[in-house]
Amino acid sequence: MKSKIHRCNCRKVWSIQNRKTKITATSILLTGEWYAELKPERRCDPKGFVATQKNHEIIFNPPLEFIEHFKKVERLMYDKKNVNFNIKNGKYLLFAEDGNCYILEKATDT
């Protein structure tokens, strides 16, 4: 089932929503494929989401041990004025407590 993730800045939490439920969390680790979904014709915010098809790949408030298996590559940026993301799809995201979203890659053990 498709889930949409966006930031609720008024409450300083991340919101995960599908057709059955809406859940909030201070941080989220997405361990699977994701894509940007844009709805510029909507009257109210949010008009841009991160969407995923697999709910079992969403980890709410992940422990540090989970995050240590990844390294931050780049920030996912949302342009609210132009309703656009700097990257359209990928794998592995960290929605951090500070409100930033980071594109991750698996850390290699050396």
Contact status, residue 49 vs residue 100, Cβ threshold 8 Å: no
- pLDDT tens digit string along 8-42? 988 999 999 999 999 999 999 999 999 999 999 99
Compute φ and ψ for 50, nearest 5 degrees.
Answer: -105, 130
pLDDT digits (tens, 9 = 90+) for 47-91: 999 999 999 999 999 999 989 999 999 999 999 999 999 999 999
Cα–Cα distance for residue pair 28/42, rounded to 1 Å: 25
Q: How far apart are CA 73 and CA 64, in angstroms?
A: 17
pLDDT of residue 110: 46
